Structure 1
Amino acid sequence: MDNGNNSNSSNSIVMIERAFDILKYIYEHEKHVGISQISRDLALPKANVFRILSTLHQVDAVEKNDDEKYSLGRLLVQLGNKARKNFDLSQIASPVLSKLSAEIGESVNLGIKYGDNILTVLGFEGESSTLVSKLVPIAPLYCSSMGKLYLAQMTDPQLEAYFASLNATIETIHTKKTLTEFLALREGILKENIAYDLEEYEYGLACIAAPIFNGKDDIIAAISISGPYSRLKYKGMESMKSKISSAAKVLTEMTKYLE
């Protein structure tokens, strides 16, 4: 009896794993998919795929059309809506950013796009700095390292319209080092997924930012390291870049199902 129970338990776990493999496969395809296609691409016996889909259909986890092909069902919508309420980006990012700030001894922030600005929604302080303490929670895209990541995703016409709307004169530029010729920078930002603010928002202050993407490769947030430029250079800008990039990749993996 014990052996039979253990066997049943083992088989149940395997079947659950296969069921989720099938659900993920259907999720990755925009159109309905059939049993033969799923069986072939996942290397599963057709009989197993049929039984799993039949069970998932019974509980509304998948829907079946007249051609005997399947798509995700209403149950998953209900479960997803419930899960999303508990899936707060700040809550997810908090332990990652707290650990990074403690490791490097610098301020680390999480920001989102808010109109034509970056809004900092979460931050952890590093070593004391008058410059960092002067930072306000909202900053224009063009002079923020996190904002530049969003600008880099824009098309040429969108960028031209954005900078035209700024009507950037000496009165609106925070420092003389502000980079308004953004098209020349975009290729490098997109290649490395890293953007800098080197004394553009405030003299002596530097920030390094990396983007967080969802499963559709849309940028949903950004994280940054902020500190005195001289101190960041002393600690190593390449090291800072590597650490912020690694943290962003971890958060992208954790948030890839966010819309």
Structure 2
Amino acid sequence: MKNKTVVRSMDILNLFMEHAALSFQDIIELSSIPKTSVYRMLLTLEEMGFIEKGDDSKYRLGLLFLTYGNLVSSRLDLRQIAYPIMQALHKELKEAINLIVKQGDEAIYIEKVDVFQKVRLYTAIGRRSPLYAGACSRVILSFLQEEEIESYLENIQLEPFAIGTIINKEQLIESIQSARTSGYTISHSELENHTSAIAAPIFNYKGEVIAGISIAGIEANYQNENEAIFSQKIMAAANEISEKLGYVR
């Protein structure tokens, strides 16, 4: 069952798709929602930043929508650019290829290619993981600004997900430093036992890390010379995506 207040709030917001600015009375007349309900919802929407009231007493969409719009646009662009590169890498290596972005203190998987990967892995589109756990998440953490990394380390509580999860802050710092030197991260049994991943960072035109891309599969495939092979492949893919996003090294 739909929540009536949420539906009515969306009805009000949808009015701004055709009108740049609306008065209180305009909204009442166009929405056919009772005056008292409109008043309460406008107060809430304004407080949350979805709309703002100008000096002319008219309501307009708030800057929050610009933020959301930019996020959606950048992530759609990222997926569209990354997907064919991910497909080509998956076809070559027959390992799962994952794409993630940072969301708060977590990473969220926004794309995955695993047609030839016969074993179901932890990763799935929409799934989240903390920034410290797993190669793909930690590669984003590793390439944040130093003050962001320090703040994260001060406030995070490290908890295990699998037998290889890093739960020691000194070890986590070493992993971050190693990634910043080598250009990639590797994980073994951090999110799921007996699985491994190798990841590289993706940068935007400002030189900011905005995503991570990884090769992932069964741990036995990520030993010895394969680490060197996979790391070079994933860094090349990450660099190609970054360049298409306007990043210049």
From the CA coordinates, give the structure whose radius of gyration is larger: 1
**Would you say the 8 A contact 2:186–2:196 is kept in 1?**
yes
| More displaced 10-residue stretch of structure 1: 100-109 or 213-222 | 213-222
1:25 alignment counterpart: none
Q: Give the direction of change, closer, same or farther, for the CA distance of 1:242–1:123 in structure 2 (3 Å limit).
A: same
1:118–1:144 contact (8 Å) kept in structure 2? no
In the TM superposition, what are the counterparts of 1:97-246 in structure 2 within 5 Å? 97-125=86-114, 126-130=116-120, 132=121, 134-136=122-124, 137-154=127-144, 158-168=148-158, 172-179=159-166, 180-181=169-170, 182-233=172-223, 236-246=226-236
Secondary structure at the aligned position of 2:80 is classed as helix
Distance of 1:184 and 1:154 partners within structure 2: 15
Whether the 8 Å CA contact 1:140–1:147 is kept in 2: the answer is yes
TM-score after normalising by structure 1:
0.59
Check whether the contact 1:112–1:222 (CA below 8 A) recurs between aligned residues.
yes
Match of 1:94 among 59, 83, 86: 83
Per-residue CA deviations over 1:226-258 (Å, capped at 9, x if unaligned) read 100102338812111111111111111101169
Distance in 1, Cα, partners of 2:160 & 2:141: 17
Alignment-derived partner of residue 253 in structure 1: 243
- How far apart are the structure 2 equivalents of 1:87 and 1:178? 31
Q: Deviations over 1:102-141 (max 9, x none)?
A: 11001001110011111111110032014x1x43421111
User: How far apart are the structure 2 equivalents of 1:146 and 1:94?
Assistant: 16
Q: Secondary structure at the match of 1:236?
A: helix
Distance 1:256 1:156, change over 3 A: closer
Change (3 A) 1:188 1:92: same
- Per-residue CA distance 1:130-166 (angstroms, 9 max, x = gap): 4x1x434211110121221222234555434423433
- Does the 8 Å contact 2:163/2:189 carry over to 1? no
- Where has structure 1 moved over 3 Å in runs of 4 or more? 84-87, 154-161
Change (3 A) 1:148 1:255: same
Flag the 1:212–1:159 CA change in 2: closer, same or farther, 3 A.
closer
Quick one: which amino acid aligns to residue 213 of structure 1?
F
Q: In structure 2, list runs of 5 or more residues that go unmatched.
A: 1-69
Aligned residues: 171
Indicate if the aligned counterparts of 1:210 and 1:248 stay in contact, CA closer than 8 A. Answer: yes
Q: Aligned with 2:160: secondary structure? A: coil
State the AA in 1 paired with 2:153: F
Structure 1: gaps (5+ residues): 1-80
| Paired residue type of 2:85 | V
Query: What is the CA–CA distance in structure 2 between the aligned matches of 1:198 and 1:177, rounded to whole Å?
Result: 6
CA gap of 1:232–1:114, structure 2 versus 1, over 3 A, is same
Report Cα offsets for 1:60-90 as digits up to 9, x if no partner: xxxxxxxxxxxxxxxxxxxxx9xx6897111
Verify the 8 A CA contact 1:196 1:207 in the aligned structure 2: yes
Residue in 1 aligned with 2:4? none
Q: Distance in 2 between matches of 1:222 and 1:85?
A: 14
Percentage of identical aligned residues: 26
Letter in 1 for 2:162: T
